[in-house]
Homo-oligomer: A and B are copies of this chain.
Amino acid sequence: MVVTSGHTVAGDDMDDANPVGPPPKRKPITARELARLMGVSQSAVSRAFTPGTSISPQLRQRILRAAAELDYHPNAIASMLSTRRSNIAGIVVSEMQNPFYPTLIEKLSRELQRVGLQSLMFNITRGSNIEEQLVALRKYNVDAVVVVSATVLSGASLRWATEGRAAVLVNRTIPDQTLTSVSCDNVEGARAIADHFHAIGRRQVAYVGGLPHTSTNLERQNAFITRVAELGMTLTHTLSGGEYSYEAGYRAALEIGQAKRTDAVFFANDILAIGGFDAFKDGLGLLVPEDIAVAGFDDVDMTRWPRYSLTTFRQPVDAIIERTVSLIIEQLSNEDFSPSQNPLSGELLIRHSTVGGRGLEKIGLPLPPQEQR
C-alpha cells in the first residue's frame, strides 16, 4: 500500500483528506474569467447556465457560444457549495456477488442520472469500518441515499446516515418502518411458490434460506411456511444456507436430497437454487423436476439458461427502480414527507425446474417466452 489514510484520533474522525501528494492540476477557466473576456458580468454567465433565470436569449446564446469556444464548464463543486445541493445520490451497496444486484444498481444509477443525480457508491462490507463509511456519506453531502444492502447495517446507523436527506431502502426494511422502503413483495412471491408447488402435486416441501436475519429472508421464509401449512403440505426442512451463494445452496440440497422425503424445494434466491439444482442433478443423480422440483427467487439471467430453466419469482426490477427514484424526488421536493413501505408485485415464472418436459403445456400454462430459444 502506498499511502495509509489519515489515522483516527481520540475517538473522533479525522479528516482523511490529502490521501495523496501535492495539490491541483492545470486549472480550467472560471466563470469570472469568461465574463471578463466577454465584457459581461459573472452573474450573467451563471444565469446563462441556469435554466429558468431571467436573462435575454441573445445574451445566453452569446455566453454559451463563448463557453463552448473556451471549453468552460461550470464547476459543480462551487455550485454545490452555494446551493447546498450536491446532486449526488449515495448508493450503499454490499452484496455484489449476487448477480441480481449489479444489474439493479446499474439500472438505478442510470435512472438517477436521468433525473440529474450522479451516484456515489459506498461499498459496505462485513468487516470494513461501516460507521466510517457512513461518515463519508454525510461529509460528501449527498442529497439522497439509496441503500441496496440487505446486510450489515443496523436501523440506527441507517437513520443516522440518512438523517435530513432523502432516503430509500431497496429490498430491505427496518423494523420500526421509520424509513421509506421499496421492495419486491416477498410475501406474495413466497405464497405463489407454495401455491405452485401445491398445484403441481407436491406435498413434501422444504425451504432454504440465505442470510438468516435479513428482512428479505425472514419475509420469504415466514410467508412460505405459513402458506405451506394453510395448504396442508408437509414442511420437511427449513434450512439456512447462511449466505446467498451457490455453495450454500449446494450443501443444503445435499442434505435435503439425501433424506429422500422432499419433492419440492423453495430456495430464497436464484443463486441458492442453482446450487441446489446442480446438487440434486449432478451430486445426487436425482431428476429435476420429476424427483424434486426446484424454485428460486429474483429471476437473474442464469435462470433462463437452458441448463436450468429455473422456476422463479421475478422481482419487478424496473418498477422498483422507478418507484425508488420517484420517492427520492418526492422527498427532495416536499418538506413534509412521511416514510412509507412499498412492496411491489412480482411475477411467478414457471419453467422446467418445476414442470418438466411438455408439462408446461399439459397443465395449461404458456411456455415462458424465454424458453423459445
Residues of A within 8 A of B (CB): 1-3, 5-7, 9-28, 49-51, 60-61, 64-65, 67-68, 73-81, 83-88, 91, 93, 96-97, 99, 101-103, 105-106, 109-110, 113-123, 125, 128, 133, 135-136, 138-141, 143, 164-165, 246-247, 250, 275, 278, 282-283, 301-302, 305-307, 325-326, 328-330, 332-335, 373
Contact of B326 with A5 in the complex, beta carbons under 8 Å: no
Q: Give the distance in Å from the alpha carbon of A15 to the alpha carbon of B110 in the complex.
A: 18
Contact of B115 with A123 in the complex, beta carbons under 8 Å: no
Do A19 and B116 contact each other (CB < 8 Å), given the known contacts A24-B84, A99-B99, A329-B2? Answer: yes
Do A5 and B114 contact each other (CB < 8 Å), given the known contacts A12-B64, A17-B50? Answer: yes
Q: Of all chain B residues, which has the CB nearest A129?
A: B113
When distances are taken between beta carbons in the complex, the residues of chain B under 8 Å from A68 are 11-12
A-B contact pairs, 27 of them (CB 8 A): A1-B115, A2-B115, A5-B115, A5-B116, A11-B68, A12-B64, A13-B73, A14-B64, A15-B49, A18-B51, A18-B83, A19-B87, A20-B333, A21-B332, A21-B333, A23-B83, A23-B84, A76-B136, A77-B80, A91-B121, A96-B102, A97-B301, A106-B123, A109-B123, A118-B121, A119-B123, A120-B121
Do A103 and B113 contact each other (CB < 8 Å), given the known contacts A23-B85, A77-B81, A86-B77? Answer: no
Q: Of all chain B residues, which has the CB nearest A106?
A: B96
When distances are taken between beta carbons in the complex, the residues of chain B under 8 Å from A80 are 77
| Candidates B17, B24, B116; contact of A20 at CB < 8 Å | B116
Do A77 and B140 contact each other (CB < 8 Å), given the known contacts A49-B14, A96-B106? Answer: yes
When distances are taken between beta carbons in the complex, the residues of chain B under 8 Å from A114 are 1, 5
Contact of A20 with B115 in the complex, beta carbons under 8 Å: yes
Known pairs A2-B329, A77-B141 / 6 extra A-B pairs, C-beta < 8 Å:
A1-B114, A6-B51, A19-B117, A20-B332, A75-B81, A97-B103
Contact of A136 with B115 in the complex, beta carbons under 8 Å: no
Contact of A246 with B16 in the complex, beta carbons under 8 Å: no
When distances are taken between beta carbons in the complex, the residues of chain B under 8 Å from A76 are 136, 139-141
Q: Give the distance in Å from the alpha carbon of A84 to the alpha carbon of B30 in the complex.
A: 13
Q: Give the distance in Å from the alpha carbon of A124 to the alpha carbon of B160 in the complex.
A: 32
Q: Give the distance in Å from the alpha carbon of A26 to the alpha carbon of B162 in the complex.
A: 12
Contact of B123 with A121 in the complex, beta carbons under 8 Å: no
Contact of A64 with B139 in the complex, beta carbons under 8 Å: no
Contact of B106 with A138 in the complex, beta carbons under 8 Å: no
Q: Give the distance in Å from the alpha carbon of A125 to the alpha carbon of B325 in the complex.
A: 19
| Candidates B84, B106, B283; contact of A27 at CB < 8 Å | B84
Contact of B103 with A326 in the complex, beta carbons under 8 Å: no
Contact of B305 with A246 in the complex, beta carbons under 8 Å: yes
Q: Give the distance in Å from the alpha carbon of A81 to the alpha carbon of B17 in the complex.
A: 13
